[in-house]
Chain A
């Protein structure tokens, strides 16, 4: 056993020494780059590697990770969801209103899930039955939901006080160390991953996204796959909106959720760089989302001004994608409209 390990390590080493460094970096570059970046930033500011800080980072990344997972589910079956950020804001605001009216955490979560499912159903109907390209269909539902959020909160944030039971979901720690939110993320991530990779329906979704013509020939119903992906994403985002309220002590006045959407999209796309074939995966997405939030936390610990953070995120995004696409060098056309 030990020998085998050494053998593999030796092989890798000899590969690197034989001048395949470029190849090796192209294959594993993203993950190596991420680790190096975080390590360097962490060594410069050792506070970052504190256990409490690391756990905080996991907590901060929770909401982003869940949205990114929902975006990945839609992307896997070949669609695109512009409305995720707006839906997050909508359910976050509605949940805040519910909690404010003392209706209890369970009903708030129920409301989030129901609203999410309805929004997902709407998107799915538009894409599958009215046959509007997913990018635009979800753009329109994004605008409608943003309008609804503004109707509800009049452009003001809703702040919550003294709701320890509800705050525990997003803020609490189990045993004082592990954030509840992170555990929720882990559970959801595992379920979605298992569903997509090990069930017939999940694999059908992958195949529809890869090549819809081939899927049709194999007798797969693409409508069902696309429909399901929007419903799952809607429910997931709706639920995440409630978590966001709990994590944030209320709902923010920010309405479009554009920043969330963009970061989530960045995470899903960065997640494709871990596999050789550039396949979308839930686990890759989750790792990238946590990387993105830990990057901003590490930058703050290093005293980098938060004015520079979006730019650095942009650079990291471009650089990581570049590693996977540079070999193929096709033109960057996109297909979802």
Chain B
């Protein structure tokens, strides 16, 4: 019992000193707490559209969907690790390296299938190493994945002799056609990459929320000790979260290289922060304040849309950083308000 108590949320304990009194009486307030987030997102989008009418147009939306695929897939990978109370700082670097590997294979005239398989195998290996370190040897996730990030970075720099960009779009089309289909091919009017991303979202959703394994992850998130006592192989479940995250981010990296036609070492690192933003947006999008696949994907798309709007307005990076920061703040304030409302 005392064990359970010690495990209750730290933030609750900090807040426990003064019981917050929210206006829980009002129905309208409750409605907005439940559905306000998605309404707020739609409202922001509409407002942005009024400011710049080029924003919510079919062609632009199709582009944004396509461009957001990297962030969506990577954020789902991050969500996998975060939903068992861990964090994987290596995924952005891994996505970077995966794109680089496929680019190098194509430039050196390797077989086209290798350009898809090799990066994913690389992701698998990195994921297994992470799992070994963090789940089986007991290194805290933040340190293990941080160390892995540094190691992958070194590997990348060595592969490209201190970070030269690997350019694919200048190669003869015959060499790159198969690879580029993933990134810029179309099935009818719909880009192939969008379909591909949708498939991944559905598969990840199924795996995370509709299988026994997914439930075991929930149990590990809730209380690892209790999960162990109820017969779950905690180390395996915890480790597999990292393996899945790593494979997903490797796929994301390949998709990025296929879409942009180049791989620039250390260019994906900046997306690590946006992954966190997406995951937390996903949390407040869910009714139960939990991390989930669909919410994360919607959150990532929202982040992508805002980035696109900022580019359309010609505003540039400072605004992007500042707005992303504000989104997290607003999102989490709403999240904590909802939590205190539910628990009281």
- Taking Cβ atoms with an 8 Å cutoff, the residues of A that contact B are 78, 126-128, 130-133, 136-137, 139-148, 150-151, 155, 211-213, 216, 221-223, 226, 255-256, 258, 262, 265-266, 269, 305-315, 317-318, 321-322, 325-326, 328-337
For B280, the closest partner residue in chain A by CB is: A136
**Contact at B317–A311, with CB atoms within 8 Å?**
no
**Contact at B328–A331, with CB atoms within 8 Å?**
no
Q: List 17 A-B contacts (CB under 8 A).
A: A130-B336, A136-B280, A147-B321, A212-B14, A222-B17, A226-B14, A269-B140, A317-B146, A318-B139, A322-B133, A325-B137, A328-B138, A330-B138, A331-B134, A332-B134, A334-B87, A336-B10
Known: A255-B321, A305-B158. 14 other contacts (CB 8 A): A136-B332, A137-B329, A140-B325, A146-B325, A148-B322, A213-B6, A226-B14, A312-B154, A318-B147, A322-B133, A331-B234, A333-B85, A333-B86, A334-B85
**Contact at B336–A326, with CB atoms within 8 Å?**
no
**Contact at B147–A307, with CB atoms within 8 Å?**
no
**Contact at B143–A318, with CB atoms within 8 Å?**
yes
**Contact at B280–A131, with CB atoms within 8 Å?**
no
How long is the Cα–Cα vector from A150 to B311 in the complex, in angstroms? 16
Tell me how far the C-beta of B215 lies from the nearest C-beta in chain A, rounded to whole angstroms: 18
How long is the Cα–Cα vector from A211 to B137 in the complex, in angstroms? 24
**Contact at A315–B151, with CB atoms within 8 Å?**
yes
CB of B213 within 8 Å of the partner chain: no
How long is the Cα–Cα vector from A226 to B316 in the complex, in angstroms? 35
Tell me how far the C-beta of A219 lies from the nearest C-beta in chain B, rounded to whole angstroms: 11
User: Which 8 A-B residue pairings sit nearest by Cβ, starting from the closest?
Assistant: A311-B154, A314-B150, A147-B322, A143-B325, A147-B321, A150-B318, A144-B325, A140-B328
**Contact at A331–B14, with CB atoms within 8 Å?**
no
If over half of B's interface residues share one DSSP class (helix, strand or loop), that class is named, otherwise mixed; here it is: helix
Q: Within the complex, which residue of A130, A143, A310, A312 is in contact with B273, where a contact is CB–CB below 8 Å?
A: A143
Count of A-B contacts judged by CB separation below 8 Å: 198
Q: Within the complex, which residue of A305, A313, A336 is in contact with B150, where a contact is CB–CB below 8 Å?
A: A313
Q: Within the complex, which residue of A144, A305, A314, A332 is in contact with B326, where a contact is CB–CB below 8 Å?
A: A144
Residues of chain B lying within 8 A (CB to CB) of residue A266? 143, 146-147
CB of B205 within 8 Å of the partner chain: no
CB of B157 within 8 Å of the partner chain: yes
CB of B144 within 8 Å of the partner chain: yes
**Contact at B318–A331, with CB atoms within 8 Å?**
no
Residues of chain A lying within 8 A (CB to CB) of residue B328? 136, 139-140, 143
How long is the Cα–Cα vector from A326 to B234 in the complex, in angstroms? 17
Q: Within the complex, which residue of A78, A130, A148, A221 is in contact with B17, where a contact is CB–CB below 8 Å?
A: A221
**Contact at B325–A141, with CB atoms within 8 Å?**
yes
How long is the Cα–Cα vector from A147 to B142 in the complex, in angstroms? 25
**Contact at A314–B154, with CB atoms within 8 Å?**
yes
Q: Which residues of chain B in 284-318 are interfacial with respect to chain A, using CB atoms and an 8 Å cutoff? A: 316-318
**Contact at A265–B224, with CB atoms within 8 Å?**
no
Q: Within the complex, which residue of A136, A314, A331 is in contact with B148, where a contact is CB–CB below 8 Å?
A: A314
Residues of chain A lying within 8 A (CB to CB) of residue B54? none
